[in-house]
Structure 1
Amino acid sequence: MYSLLLAIIYVAFISLGLPDSLVGAGWPVMHQDLGVPVAFAGIVTMIIAIGTIISSLLSERITLRFGAGVVTAVSVAMTAAALVGFSVSDQFWMLCLWAIPYGLGAGAVDAALNNYVALHYAARHMNWLHSFWGVGASISPFVMGYAISSGQGWSTAYLVIGLVQGALTLALLASIPLWGKVDRDRAGATQGPADAASGADADAGAHAPADLTPDRAAPVPLATALRIPGVVLILLTFSAYCALESTALLWSSTYLVTARGTSPAAAATFGALFVLGLTAGRFLAGFFADRLGDRALIRGGFVLIGVGSLLLALPLPTDVLGLAGLVVLGLGSAPIYPAIIHSTPVNFGRRNSQAIIGIQMAAAYTGSTLAPPAFGVLATWTGMWILPLFLAVMVVAGLVMSERLNRVVDSSARA
């Protein structure tokens, strides 16, 4: 039963990644067809981000009322409808309108799925699932590129991905009884699959809050969740990580051209090295995640990002180290997001995990939305050379906050 549902969740994570690259991949053509400036892409992505933040914050209340299975199915249905809506939009305001259900659906399914996996499955699955998100995010640009190059237009790409999401919605609707059975099995057991601390996380599990019991029936208010020791620290850690990930993703190619003298064509190609490192790193991390534990993965990931930033910054006449730096950045980034999510029930208790994961998702979307334009303003004043330094500052901030969190969790358990 666990395995069948897990297979469905893996497919759902591919679905999460599929639409994420479509706007960026298609916008060079879309803005011309819609008759709007190229900068208007920021309006669409901002509407989506606001929707994801709102639904992430509301995810616990919604999930407690309807269940993770229903929330996941309905949320994917909303994204499917939004993508089909994008495909028939011939005015910019229509695109903005459909961005609302897209953002609301994406945030709700992200928070619900991440919490469900953190509660029910081992750390290796959290890493592999997020690797599958990378697979989906890597596929959609090729779908968009083929649709445009074949003359079918960007709307066809949105329609195809929307229909795929629609098919997944039907599968998720059929799987709803499975989610309830897994919940009942977990409630009847003294210790479920995700409760057993393993490897290097055994010490963290021993110090976790003593509320590893079935989830409470009432939602945790936002103000109450924020007062739980360590929650603000994990939000700062998550925000710093997502800020550096989204900034590296957006600006690395531009950095290679303006600061390292790489040709634009080569930089566009090599810029994908970060995403490839991220996806491959999450796949590899899954093999040793249970043995090392979440704390070691977060700590090691930040250190590796620091090494990648240094390689990117070295003023050598060859591009080899800079390109290697992008791969190392991706490999270091790979385990941090899944490990933060997976450690939430251990750090703060199962009864609080859905509320806190929802807040974490909101912090993640806030950091990833605001950091790239903020860095763009900073780079305008100082020069693009500052990118490795910016990444290093985010690494230090994230590492310091996560280490402080570990001490808070341990001291709370001893109190």
Structure 2
Amino acid sequence: MKKSVLFLGLIYLIFISLGLPDSILGVAWPSMNGDFRVAASSAGIVAMVISIGTILSSFQTNRMIQKIGVGNLIVCSIFCTVIGLCGFSISQNFFFLIVSAIPLGLGAGAIDTAVNDYVALHYKAHHMNWLHGFWGIGATAGPIIMGFYLKNQNWRGGYLVLASLQFILVVIVFFSRKQWQQPRKIAHASEKQDSMITLIKRPGVIFSLICFIFYVGIEACMGLWGSSFLVRVKDIPISTAAFMTSTYYASLTVGRLAAGFITFFLSSRKLLYLSETLLIAGVVVLLFGNGNFAAIGFIFTGLGSAAIFPTMLHETPGRFGVKNSARIMSLQLALAYTGTTFLPPLLGFLAERFTLVIFPYLLFVFGCILLGSTIILEKRVKELRN
């Protein structure tokens, strides 16, 4: 029992480490772009390289699991993030920074896909929600660590500390890697697997992919454009807008931890419907709310968002079968990263033409597509089971 609890704690620790680098580029970039003498908008190039690496590794994760095992893959992937973070800390020019972003993205994508699939197969829904809650803890801690070093204009030190923490985790996971080799409920390697085209044609898979694109798009748009919307459209002071944006992430993290307990008495299907309805309600409050009342919209949207991503991931084996769960998980996460990469720029492109007034309207459309796709997905899965 003690051994299994420690192993579960290690899984949570891995997701804290996954969240650590995710939110620090934006915090450090005002200092970094001055050192590299590049435009402020160049951060988008770095972020896109990381995202592309993440997408590519997500597609290859299942193949690598079959070749070297989950434990070894996670060790190698975390080590890739160490290389990337060290590269950031010693970069002397923008080109080297871009090169360093490649292993950072590749490592993050493989960790995310492998651990999510493992937890979906071997643990109950509340653990998946708590897992992503711990990611939020890491995403919150990263800027705090970087902020400490930015007081002395030492963003390199911040990246080096994160690389050191990741390296310690590499050592821990290396010595526990055999714990990951327990057999799956159904061994992937021993069964004939469907082709990728066949997988996509399975009832409900397309709608599942649509759900991932638009949910993650909403989350990314809230993080990137939420504060600007409050300042430019709602005339809220910058400092207050920053605080309101932080309430979104706080609600997201707290909501995921709370959702773990809610799953004890509410089915995943009902939790998804409730969450997506609350998310849409939060967007409506953003649309019509003024002043500090708009903060309620951020809180509702954060709480509504909380359980959606982990619940959809956990439902993957149950919806589409254990045999193909890892490959469909890879597809889902790859499409999720695609949504993160392209939907926020799309909103920015439209905002240039219609101003940021369009922000809540577009989120409302995204939310309705998400809810509609979930309803159709559940219907397709139910028909398949019958």
**2:273 equivalent to 1:271:** no
CA distance in 2 between counterparts of 1:62 and 1:157 reads 31
Match of 2:220 in 1: 246
**2:286 equivalent to 1:312:** yes
CA distance in 2 between counterparts of 1:32 and 1:359 reads 37
- Once the two structures are superposed, the pairs formed by residues 153-164 of structure 1 within 5 Å of their partners are 153-164=154-165
Residue identity matched to 2:131? L
Cα distance per residue 1:125-161 (max 9 Å; x no partner): 100110000000001111111101034x110000000
CA distance in 2 between counterparts of 1:221 and 1:161 reads 39
Cα distance per residue 1:192-247 (max 9 Å; x no partner): xxxxxxxxxxxxxxxxxxxxx33344665322321222111100011010111100
Match of 1:370 in 2: 342
**2:187 equivalent to 1:214:** yes
1:90 aligned counterpart, secondary structure: coil
Cα distance per residue 1:289-323 (max 9 Å; x no partner): 2321221222111100111011111154xx23200
CA distance in 1 between counterparts of 2:341 and 2:85 reads 21
Match of 1:172 in 2: 173
| Structure 1 stretches of at least 4 aligned residues deviating more than 4 Å after TM superposition | none
CA contact (8 A) 2:18 2:108 kept: yes
* Residue of structure 1 aligned with 2:50, choices 48, 51, 69: 48
CA distance in 1 between counterparts of 2:214 and 2:89 reads 34
The alignment yields a C-alpha RMSD, in angstroms, of: 1.3
2:235 aligned counterpart, secondary structure: coil
Match of 1:96 in 2: 98
Q: Please state how far the C-alpha of 1:265 moved relative to its aligned partner.
A: 1.8
* Residue of structure 1 aligned with 2:265, choices 291, 308, 314: 291
Q: Please state how far the C-alpha of 1:79 moved relative to its aligned partner.
A: 0.3
Match of 2:359 in 1: 387
1:339 aligned counterpart, secondary structure: helix
Q: Please state how far the C-alpha of 1:178 moved relative to its aligned partner.
A: 1.1
* Residue of structure 2 aligned with 1:300, choices 260, 270, 274: 274
Q: Which runs of 5+ in 2 are unaligned?
A: none
CA distance in 2 between counterparts of 1:219 and 1:60 reads 12
**2:345 equivalent to 1:345:** no
Report which stretch shifted further, 118-127 or 307-316.
307-316
Cα distance per residue 1:37-72 (max 9 Å; x no partner): 111111111111111111101111111221111111
Alpha carbons of structure 1 residues 108 and 123: separation in structure 2 relative to 1, 3 Å: same
Match of 1:327 in 2: 299
Match of 1:7 in 2: 9
CA contact (8 A) 2:193 2:323 kept: no
Q: Which runs of 5+ in 1 are unaligned?
A: 188-212
CA contact (8 A) 1:64 1:219 kept: no
2:277 aligned counterpart, secondary structure: helix
Residue identity matched to 2:200? L
CA contact (8 A) 1:72 1:109 kept: yes
**2:377 equivalent to 1:402:** no
Match of 1:412 in 2: 384
Match of 1:26 in 2: 28
Q: Please state how far the C-alpha of 1:3 moved relative to its aligned partner.
A: 2.1
CA distance in 1 between counterparts of 2:269 and 2:250 reads 24
CA contact (8 A) 1:216 1:351 kept: no
Residue identity matched to 1:214? A
CA distance in 2 between counterparts of 1:288 and 1:158 reads 37
| Fraction of identical pairs, as percent | 39
CA distance in 1 between counterparts of 2:47 and 2:10 reads 28
CA distance in 2 between counterparts of 1:98 and 1:265 reads 32
Match of 1:62 in 2: 64
CA distance in 2 between counterparts of 1:293 and 1:19 reads 33
Cα distance per residue 1:248-304 (max 9 Å; x no partner): 111110011111110112112221111111011001111112321221222111100
Residue identity matched to 1:285? A
CA contact (8 A) 2:194 2:324 kept: yes
- Once the two structures are superposed, the pairs formed by residues 83-122 of structure 1 within 5 Å of their partners are 83-122=85-124
Cα distance per residue 1:339-362 (max 9 Å; x no partner): 000000000011110000000010
CA distance in 2 between counterparts of 1:315 and 1:171 reads 48
1:297 aligned counterpart, secondary structure: helix
CA distance in 2 between counterparts of 1:220 and 1:7 reads 34
CA contact (8 A) 1:87 1:156 kept: yes
Residue identity matched to 1:179? W
